[in-house]
């Protein structure tokens, strides 16, 4: 079945992943997930854990928290 509705072309330079989500949205979500909810510092990765490098914060996510 074909539709008579016009299809809009993606914006120039905008790439989409197989699920249909724009790459920029996924990158923004990745940055958000790697930001400490306590102090807004960028979380660092050690093996499969994400932790806040800021002294005194102590926030971390273990593997089970984000997989």
pLDDT of residue 62: 86
Interior/surface letters 26-53, b for 16+ CB within 10 angstroms, e for the rest: eeeeeeeeeebeeeeeebeeeeeebbbe
| CA distances for 10 relative to 23, 26, 43, angstroms | 12, 16, 33
Domain ranges of the chain: 41-67
pLDDT of residue 54: 95
Residue-by-residue pLDDT tens, the chain, 67 positions: 555 555 555 555 555 555 666 778 888 888 888 899 999 999 999 888 889 999 999 998 888 876 5
């Amino acid at each position: 079945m074909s539709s008579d509705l016009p299809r809009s072309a993606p914006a120039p330079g905008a790439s989409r992943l197989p699920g249909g989500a724009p790459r920029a949205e996924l990158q923004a979500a990745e940055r958000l997930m790697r930001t400490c909810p306590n102090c807004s510092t960028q979380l660092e990765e050690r093996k499969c854990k994400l932790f806040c490098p800021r002294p005194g914060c102590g926030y971390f996510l273990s593997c089970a928290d984000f997989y």
